[in-house]
Homo-oligomer: A and B are copies of this chain.
Amino acid sequence: MHTHHETHSTSSQLVRDIVIGMADGLTVPFALAAGLSGALSSTRIVVTAGLAEIAAGSIAMGLGGYLAARGDAEHYESELQRERHEIVTVPEVEKREIVDIFVEYGVQPHESATLVEALAARPEAWVDFMMRFELGLEEPDPKRAVRSALTIAASYVVGGFIPLTPYIVLGNAAVALRVSVIVTLIALFSFGFVKGQFTGTRPLRSALQTMLTGGLAAAAAFVIARAIS
């Protein structure tokens, strides 16, 4: 069970990074291009803005993911040092903290006493236990920061080119808009469906939710851009 859970965790981090990047990559360039094509008849500026957005969005999200993952790793390390220090300097306080965790679940101090002493006899395991069960922190994978950044950025670029390709290929903004809407709604639907299968939401519902999010964002951008111009 636990091994299963661990495996699930690692693959779900990859899936989560792809979902983070692709969800925004499909939605924001789609909505921006749709919005601008409501204000402009030439596809050239739409393509320029779309590509600038894909560059900006993928770098901002990728670096954001990198810094978030590195921040998690540093936070874990600093809490680890603190727990290591505390089990040496204030072992009775730390033991009392384990007792208190179980008291929350209705377990009396005398019922957890044997377990607490067994943990306290193994300092390294004790620290790991406090990290996970007192602080709720999992040890982060040191390679995760870079992998997470690249996965998010690449997914954003892949997602972003789907709505933009019609504007690159076709010369007329109004025609490109219609093709982009159809292609992207299908892509959002498919992406939402696959995402649902990984995250445990019913696939059809996830597909419709994802399509609706992209559609609403695009509709709002379209209305605003047309209102200004």
Contacts and interface: CB of A to CB of B under 8 A. Distances in A.
Interface of A: 1-2, 5, 23-24, 27-28, 30-32, 35-36, 39-40, 45, 47-49, 51-53, 55-57, 59-61, 63-64, 67, 71, 74-75, 78, 97, 100-102, 104-108, 111-115, 117-119, 122, 125-126, 128-129, 132-136, 138, 199-201, 209-210, 212-214, 216-218, 220-225, 228-229
A1 B118 contact: no
Contacts of A126: 105
Contact of A28 (B56, B134, B136): B56
How often does this chain occur in the complex, in copies? 2
Contacts of A133: 133
A67 B36 CA distance: 27
Contacts of A105: 119, 122, 125-126, 128-129
B115 A102 contact: yes
B122 A115 contact: no
A101 B104 CA distance: 18
Contacts of A57: 24, 28, 217
Interface of A is mostly: helix
Contact of A31 (B55, B101, B134): B55
Contacts of A111: 114-115, 117-118
A35 B56 contact: yes
A132 to B, nearest CB: 8
A224 B108 CA distance: 65
A218 to B, nearest CB: 7
Contacts of A23: 60, 64
Contact of A55 (B35, B53, B113): B35
A214 B200 CA distance: 34
Nearest to A122: B106
Contacts of A200: 71, 74-75, 78
Nearest to A129: B105
Given A40-B45, A51-B224, A60-B214, A107 B100 contact: no
A49 B36 contact: yes
